[in-house]
Amino acid sequence: MIARLLLVALAALTASLGSCRREASVAPVEKLELAGNAAYDAGEFEQAESAYRKALEVGAQRPRLQNNLGNALARQGRSGAAQAAYRAAIALDPEYLFAMNNLVLALYHGGERDSARQFLAKAQMNWPRVSFFYSTDGYLRYLEGDRPAALAAFQEAIRINPDSPAALNNIGALLLENSVADTDPLPYLMRAIQKSPENVLLRDTLGWYYFKKGMFAEATIEIGKAFLYDPKNLEVRVHFATVLEWIGKEREALEQWTKVLEQADDERVKRLAHEHYWDLKGRGVTASAN
Amino acid sequence: MRYPPEPRRTASARTDGKRFGWRLIRISYFAMKIWGAILLTLAVAVIGSSYYARSQGTESVFVRVITLLRRSVDQRIALITAPPDEAGLIEQRFATLTFVSGRVEIQRSTDLAWKAGQDGTRLASGDRVRTFASARAEVGFDDGNVLRIKPDSLIVIGDLTENVRTKVRTSSVRLLVSNIEADIKKAVVRGSQFRLEMPTATAEIDKARMSVEIRPDKQSQVSVFSGQVDLDTGSQRVQVTDRKTVTISALKQITSPENLLPAPRLSAPRPLETFPSATGGAALSCTWDPVPGARAYRLEIAADRFFDKPIVSRDDLRTTTFATPSLGPGVYHVRLAALDAQGRMGDFAEPVPVRVVVDREPPFIEIQKFVVLQTGRGREILVNGRTEPGATVSVGGRAVAVDETGYFSAVLKGLGAAPAEMEILSRDRAGNLKSLLQKVSS
């Protein structure tokens, strides 16, 4: 759930990166920036950081470069350095909203919760029609365990922008937990998919909704697509393995659970994988030869 | 036979140069008789078809042709006259036939022919769906709303639009003779609307689970299991809320709402529960909370989530438990509804998916430590090891706690004259047994 709520942050990151890709210039700064983006997309955050720093050293003091550098640093867990980069981006462009949003997240994850809240409140006051500030607000409230407030914030984000995939997914995922309100998450998830059909986490959330409802064919399609798009995502793999078991593909499920056991760090996920692995093994299921 | 008088024609009208004669008149009169017969047959067909269609509560093919022609003309006029920016504000949406069982046919808005409906067929505004006897269909809308069409029904997809600027979605479905269930979910964008058009009323729905039955005499039964529906007959407006049912007469009179029973809550089986079986089949034990006012309960178990061909279908259950016959391996869906004193069925509880899996493999036992100690209080045995997670273990007939990973550890005290061997027994959830004999030597 937390992973998918990070979509709020990812939305900002993707948007800023997306705008970079549109530039077709092959000047050295652009080349370095594109290299940084490619490394970032591949999960090579140190390389991305290095490329962005070089681009900045060349002399291009662009807010977008600073923002991207902040993202690369944030993904390495270097919250303080990321904050500095975001602040530099905002100093260059005081209306750079993505950097503001990212700064809030960096402050929050860096332990400066009050500063994050104050900064977000100020941003919401100055730009009341920007939906992703409300999405971020909802995300922070979710992390603090205040689910009704998180739901209200996501709903406000959707009221401002009914097509915001991040807010739609977040509200869908929140409702899927069934701990907030008796509202079906399906309309939110379907709308999110229509607006952002290639988003892996959206597909996975929708697939998981179908699975919980016993709609196994639909679940297989959605989670299968998510797994195809991002086989490295452990949460998607867990869902994929579960669905495979329920549609009778037990050998394939065993293979997936084995991989989850190999990759999982989280104790909860490990325990779940262990349980499923032994359930299948105990029934005499063996992994296929290849 | 009388002949008509000779027509007055000028010479210039005669181009063949032949002389006028009675023979020519006879032939044309014969042709007139043929045409007369054709027209008469056509008229009889139109009237007969209209009467038949009216008795069935549907539209005759002639009315349909005229409607098509009129719609085509209307669309052209609308295209010509609409202001360009206003025309661009509305975006057409679609629905999908998500399930088909039996004879289900679709008639496109632009086509007179009925074609077989298939899973995944897209439906647009103006398309019709009809189900024949024993046939069922499900229409899924792009906003998650669902319409389940029961046998012998005919529906027409009405508006399916989204306002590009406000994002407000409008959906409507016209019900002719139909029996449907609708699951309308709360819309993402405020102001969005789902409308069901019945012969004598319209139903505006914000969020509801409901059923509508339109009988051939144009009487409609509207049952709302949850949510809220606003009914409007033109002369009367009524709001039908949770667990209420009303009847709308052919004269557009709405009866006062009557109560429906709530859906019972299944306490067993639990959603997504797995039943392992060593014998190849398992009986499901179903239990549920009683519903006040329920005369009986209807329980259905099917291998498909649409409950198209239920394996178990009982509507005479007077108690709140039921054990199914042995079900083979596979996935099953269980649902339950309460029946009131009049035999009216309330809402079905959310279907519970479960599965039966075959497990004929005995669990493994791995003894890591088995130590016999002679203490002042007598003999003690320290034992630990691993078995299949979920299995129960006993050592020498004494139950030993097993954790969720299958690890067990125990110190057995107060053993008298211990036997030469001690049995360690593991039983998995399917009932398979594995026994291991361990020598007892201190």
Where are the domain boundaries for CATH 2.60.40.10 in chain B?
266-358, 365-439
Average pLDDT over residues B211-238: 92
**3-state SS class at B101:** strand
Question: Quick one: pLDDT at residue A4?
Answer: 53
pLDDT value at position B79?
57
pLDDT per residue over A80-117, tens digit each? 999 999 999 999 999 999 999 999 999 999 899 999 99
User: What pLDDT score was predicted for residue B314?
Assistant: 94
Determine the pLDDT at residue B418: 59
Nearest Cα to B181, choosing from B213, B203, B157? Answer: B213
Q: B9-18, B99-108, B286-295 — which is least confidently predicted?
A: B9-18
The reply to whether residue B359 touches residue A216, judged by beta carbons under 8 angstroms, is no
Strand ranges inside B260-377, DSSP E: 266-268, 273-277, 285-288, 296-302, 310-317, 321-323, 330-339, 352-358, 365-375
Confidence bin at B216 (pLDDT 50/70/90)? confident
**Band of pLDDT at residue B173, cut at 50, 70 and 90:** very high
pLDDT of residue B32: 79
Architecture in CATH for domain A216-290: Alpha Horseshoe (1.25)
Interface check A216 vs B, CB under 8 A: yes
Residue A175, pLDDT score: 86
Q: By C-alpha distance, which of B259, B180, B206, B181 is closest to A184?
A: B206
pLDDT at B417: 64
Q: For residue A24, is pLDDT > 80?
A: no
Q: Please, which pLDDT band fits residue B23 given cuts at 50, 70 and 90?
A: low
**Tokens of residue A199, six digits:** 């988003």
Give yes or no for residue A207 having a pLDDT over 90.
yes
Domain ranges in chain B with CATH number 2.60.120.1440: 88-259
Interface test with B, best of A257, A283, A285, A286 (most B CBs within 10 A): A283
pLDDT tier for residue B9 given thresholds of 50, 70 and 90: very low
Residue of chain B nearest A194, judged by CA positions: B142
Q: Contact, A185 vs B139, CB < 8 A?
A: no
Query: Which of B406, B379, B404, B411 has the alpha carbon at shortest distance from B393?
Result: B406
- Is the Cβ of B347 closer than 8 Å to some Cβ of chain A? no
- When pLDDT is cut at 50, 70 and 90, the band that residue B57 belongs to is low
Put simply, the answer to whether A282 touches B188 (Cβ < 8 Å) is no
CB contact under 8 A, A163 and B358: no
User: How many Å lie between the alpha carbon of B119 and the closest alpha carbon of chain A?
Assistant: 12
Residue among A193, A151, A190 nearest A174 (CA): A151
256-275 of B, contacting A, C-beta below 8 A: 271-272, 274
Question: Per residue in A129-173, pLDDT tens?
Answer: 899 999 999 999 988 988 889 989 998 999 999 888 888 888 888
CB contact under 8 A, A214 and B388: no
Residues of chain A contacting B360 with CB distance shorter than 8 Å: 283-284
- At A15 the pLDDT is 42
Among the ranges given (A89-103, A169-183, B23-37), the one the predictor scored with the smallest mean pLDDT: B23-37
Cα–Cα distance measured from residue B433 to residue B361, given in angstroms and rounded to the nearest whole number: 9
Per-residue pLDDT at A243 exceeds 60: yes
Question: How big is the A-B interface in CB pairs under 8 Å?
Answer: 83
Asked if B111 reaches chain A (Cβ–Cβ under 8 Å), the answer is no
- What residues of chain B lie within 8 A of the CB of A274, using their CB? 389, 405
Q: Is the dihedral of CA A161, A167, A168, A171 positive or negative?
A: negative
Contacts of A284 in chain B (CB under 8 A): 359-361
pLDDT, mean of residues A53-67: 86
**CATH T-level fold of B88-259:** Jelly Rolls (2.60.120)
Q: Which of the residue ranges A53-57, A212-216, B44-48, B63-67 would you say has the lowest mean pLDDT?
A: B63-67
Confidence band of B136 (pLDDT split at 50, 70, 90): very high
Amino acid at A120: L
Question: Within 13 Å of residue A205, how many CA atoms lie on the same side as its CB?
Answer: 34
User: Please, which pLDDT band fits residue B80 given cuts at 50, 70 and 90?
Assistant: low
Cβ neighbours of residue A167 closer than 8 Å, sequence gap 6 or more: A8, A131, A132, A134, A135, A138, A154, A157, A158, A161
Residue A162 contacts B where some CB pair is shorter than 8 Å: yes
Helix axes A131-143, A147-160, angle to 10 degrees: 170
CATH tag, B365-439:
2.60.40.10
Contact between B405 and A274 using a beta-carbon 8 Å cutoff: yes
What is the pLDDT averaged over residues A13-20?
44
Q: At residue A25, does pLDDT exceed 50?
A: no
For residue A249, the model assigns a pLDDT of 94
Quick check: B239 pLDDT over 60? yes
User: Does A187 sit within 8 Å of B186, measured CB to CB?
Assistant: yes
Domain boundaries, chain A: 1-94, 216-290
- CB-based contacts of B210, cutoff 8 Å, min separation 6: B181, B182, B184, B203, B222, B223, B224, B225, B227, B229
Average pLDDT over residues A186-193: 91
Range in A196-200, B92-96, B215-219, B413-417 the model is least confident about: B413-417
Q: What is the CATH number of domain B266-358?
A: 2.60.40.10
What's the CATH number for A1-94?
1.25.40.10
B165 falls in which pLDDT band (50, 70, 90)? confident
pLDDT computed for residue B83 by the predictor: 55
Asked if A278 lies within 8 A of B389 by C-beta distance, the reply is yes
Q: How is A125-155 classified by DSSP, letter by letter?
A: HH-TT-HHHHHHHHHHHHHTT-HHHHHHHHH
Q: What is B219-239 written as a DSSP string?
A: -EEEEEEEEEEEEE-SS-EEE
As a whole number, mean pLDDT of residues A70-82 equals 91
What is the Cα–Cα distance from B12 to B237, expressed in whole angstroms? 70
Question: pLDDT tens digits for B349-407?
Answer: 899 999 999 998 899 999 999 888 877 777 788 999 999 888 999 988 889 999 988 89
> Torsions phi, psi of A75, nearest 5?
-70, -20
Contact A216 B331 (CB under 8 A): yes
Q: How far apart are CA A48 and CA A71, in angstroms?
A: 9
Number of H helices, E strands in chain A: 17, 0
Taking the Cβ of residue B155 and every Cβ of chain A, the question of whether any pair is shorter than 8 Å is answered with no
Span of A28-42, A252-266, B19-33, B178-192 with lowest mean pLDDT: B19-33
Report the DSSP beta bridge partners of residue B297: B317, B338
Chain B interface disruption, residue of A171, A191, A243, most B CBs within 10 A: A191
Instruction: Verify whether the Cβ–Cβ distance B188 to A271 is below 8 Å.
Output: no
**What value of ipTM does the predicted structure carry?**
0.76
DSSP H helices in A58-112:
63-75, 79-92, 97-109
How confident is the model at residue B72, as a pLDDT? Answer: 72
> Minimal Cα distance from B350: which residue of A?
A213
In whole angstroms, give the CA distance from residue A154 to residue B195: 27
Contact B389 A284 (CB under 8 A): no
